[in-house]
Structures are given as C-alpha cells and as structure tokens.
Structure 1
Amino acid sequence: MKAEALKKRLDKNRPMTTITIRIPEDVIEDLKRIAPLLGFSGYQPLMRAYIGQGLRSDMERLEGDNISALIASLKRHGVSDEVIHEALTEVTQK
C-alpha cells in the first residue's frame, strides 16, 4: 500500500457509513467480552479492526499475486532479471 493511501487509512476522521449485517448473537457476545481485553472501547471498533486486518491481508495477497504474474510474464518475454529488479525498485521508491 502506498504511503498516501496508508495515511488516509489511518485518519480517524474518515467518512463512515452505516450498514446492517446479521451476525449470530453468541458471536456478538464474544466480541463484547473480548473487546475491552484487547483495548477496544466496544465490539464495533473490534469488528472494524478484524475486517480491516482481513481486508489488508487479502489485498496484499491478491495484489502480490498480480505482481508475481507480471514478473513471470516479463521473464517469459525475455526481460532480464536486472531490468525487472530496476523497475521494481523504481516503482517502490515513489
């Protein structure tokens, strides 16, 4: 994730939207019990944290897979490892 996008994600004043989701009652009770033990003010911030962690993990995995596929394709087309490394270094330093 680029630095600017990460800064936006860390902004506590980001716009929020209200949703409705059906979750089993026992899961909500567990969240309410665990939230203060993990330092959360309530179960909803804990749920947002869980969703954010899972989302970031999947985004990293999926975006990483795309990069790996691109690198493999470039190699099949005869692009040298040195050129690929230079290009990756260039785009990750921005």
Structure 2
Amino acid sequence: MNKPEEELELHLRSRAAETVSIRIPTDTLESLKKVANSKDMSPEALMKFYIGQGLRQDLAKLFSERLLESTAQVLARHIQSEEEVLKIIQEIQAQTTR
C-alpha cells in the first residue's frame, strides 16, 4: 500500500508565462494584500487565482453558448417549426440555469 504522503503528492506542469504590468487603484491593491495574507498567499498568486477563476467561468459560458447554437442548428434541420425549435432551446436554457 502507498504511503499517505505519496497519495497527496501534487505534480504541476510548468507553462510558458509572460510578464504583464497593470495599474491597480491603491485601495484595491491594499485590499488584495489583506485577502492574500488571510489566505496565506502572495498578492500575485491571489490575482492569478482570481483571473483563472473568472476566465474559466467566461470560457464555460462561451462553450455553453456555442453548444446551444449548434443544438439549435441541428434541431432546425430536423424540425420544420421554428417555434418548436425555439421552445426546445428555451427549455434547455431553463434547465441549465437552475
């Protein structure tokens, strides 16, 4: 059986990175430092976390929109009624926003 330490080992792959400079309001930066400190993170790591989190949400939304658009196109090829296609798409949207 594996040792508990071996099971929890995390392997991160390095990725190409580029340095970026941005202007942040002083009070926002101070708040960021406080939150980062409370999470035992550097402000840079917290900013990367926030950017990654927001980016994943936006990419997921874009994917959903593309998938819904493709679904509507397929339905339109198989169902003659535009009204029926619209009702199906609206039902799918209602199910995914719950």
Q: Same fold (TM over 0.5)?
A: yes
Secondary structure of the corresponding residue to residue 77 of structure 1? helix
1:71 alignment partner in structure 2: 71
User: Which 4+ stretches in 1 moved above 3 angstroms?
Assistant: none
Task: Give the letter for the 1:15 counterpart.
Answer: A
1:82 alignment partner in structure 2: none
2:28 alignment partner in structure 1: 27
Q: Cα RMSD between the aligned structures?
A: 1.7
**1 or 2 for the larger relative contact order (CA 8 Å, sep ≥6)?**
1
Task: Give the letter for the 1:25 counterpart.
Answer: T
- Aligned equivalents of 1:51, 1:63: Cα separation in 2: 18
Deviation of residue 11 (structure 1)?
3.4
Gaps in structure 2 of 5+ consecutive residues: 1-10, 80-98
Deviation of residue 12 (structure 1)?
4.8
2:14 alignment partner in structure 1: 13
1:62 alignment partner in structure 2: 62
Deviation of residue 62 (structure 1)?
0.7
How many residue pairs end up in the alignment? 69
TM-score scaled by structure 2? 0.64
TM-score scaled by structure 1? 0.67
Is 2:45 the partner of 1:48? Answer: no
Taking a change above 3 Å as real, the CA distance of residues 49 and 12 of structure 1, as seen in their structure-2 partners, is farther
Deviation of residue 36 (structure 1)?
2.2
Q: Which has the larger radius of gyration?
A: 2
